[in-house]
Amino acid sequence: MVDWLHPEWANLRFISGQPPLGGIGKADIVTAPRFNVVGPTSHATYFESGRMRSWGIGLLPLGWSKFFGASAELYADRFENGETDPVFSNMAPISKTLFDGSDTPLEQEAKSISDHFINLLDTAPPDDPLIQDAHSILVDPDLATVQEMADRLAITGRTLDRLSRRVFGFPPKLLLRRQRFLRSLAENMLNPSQNWVTSLDPQYYDQSHFGRDFQSFMGMSATEYKALPHPFLNAAVHGRMAAAGAGMQVLHDPTKPD
């Protein structure tokens, strides 16, 4: 199976079976680690998989800040081996509770993951309300400018830039572009009979404006992407929409429960 993951927040992936191949943006295609940590991305991730099982754990910005001490910018558009990077040592024990070769029910494996995170809360720092507020504003489809975001948070542009890089992984201007692009992409994937024009977010000036963003984020044209099969992404987008009310992780409102 081959597909291209759209830009996302950070993800932890625990893999059993044939390790997949992957690469972010223009990076080389390499074999993914068994415990694979992917930072927030602003480029498509190519992946190719054979027979495998995988548990994926998506981390919103507040989760990254709560469980890891490193700046998200240091891991942006890259993936690391979670078993060797000390930043993620608190997550490595999860792999020991998965894929034991028996007929362990999926629900039991899911519970072991959930229990591990709950136990980590005992020593995790308290939630930072500024992160939650910034994220909630970021997913507002009416947000148009970085200055508006700073004003709504009652902070300076410089403070917003520092917060954005540390917690979200990218400067705020890029994040706004990414939101606009993914709203358009999600709309088209959820309604594949639409053409790109009818799927465009209202903040796009025209189709050529969208086309430039598509090339920048996905590394190919919208037409090329549409012509390719998306066996994983089509299922994921519709599954996430049904479960969480948003077709993509980046569009999920952090103030709304799953």
Whether pTM exceeds 0.85: yes
Q: How far apart are CA 240 and CA 194, in angstroms?
A: 20
Give the whole-number percent of the chain exceeding pLDDT 90.
86
Q: Which residue ranges form the domains of the chain, and what is each CATH number?
A: 2-120 (no CATH), 129-251 (1.10.10.60)
Mean pLDDT of the chain: 94
Q: Are 186 and 11 in contact (CB under 8 A)?
A: no
Does the pLDDT value for residue 258 go beyond 70?
A: no
Mean local confidence (pLDDT), 113-142:
96
pLDDT digits (tens, 9 = 90+) for 23-51: 999 999 999 999 999 999 999 999 999 99
52: left (phi over 0), alpha (psi -120 to 50) or beta: beta
**76's tokens:** 């942006």
Mean local confidence (pLDDT), 72-100:
93
Q: Are 55 and 98 in contact (CB under 8 A)?
A: yes
- Quote the pLDDT of residue 257: 63
Residue type, 188: N
Mean local confidence (pLDDT), 142-158:
97
**Sequence-distant (≥ 6) Cβ neighbours of residue 116 within 8 angstroms:** 91, 93, 94, 97
State how far the alpha carbon of 154 is from the alpha carbons of 46, 83, 128, 160, 163, in Å: 39, 40, 15, 10, 13
pLDDT digits (tens, 9 = 90+) for 183-223: 999 999 999 888 898 999 999 989 999 999 999 999 999 99
Residue type, 49: S
- Quote the pLDDT of residue 101: 66
**173's tokens:** 């201007």
- Quote the pLDDT of residue 256: 79
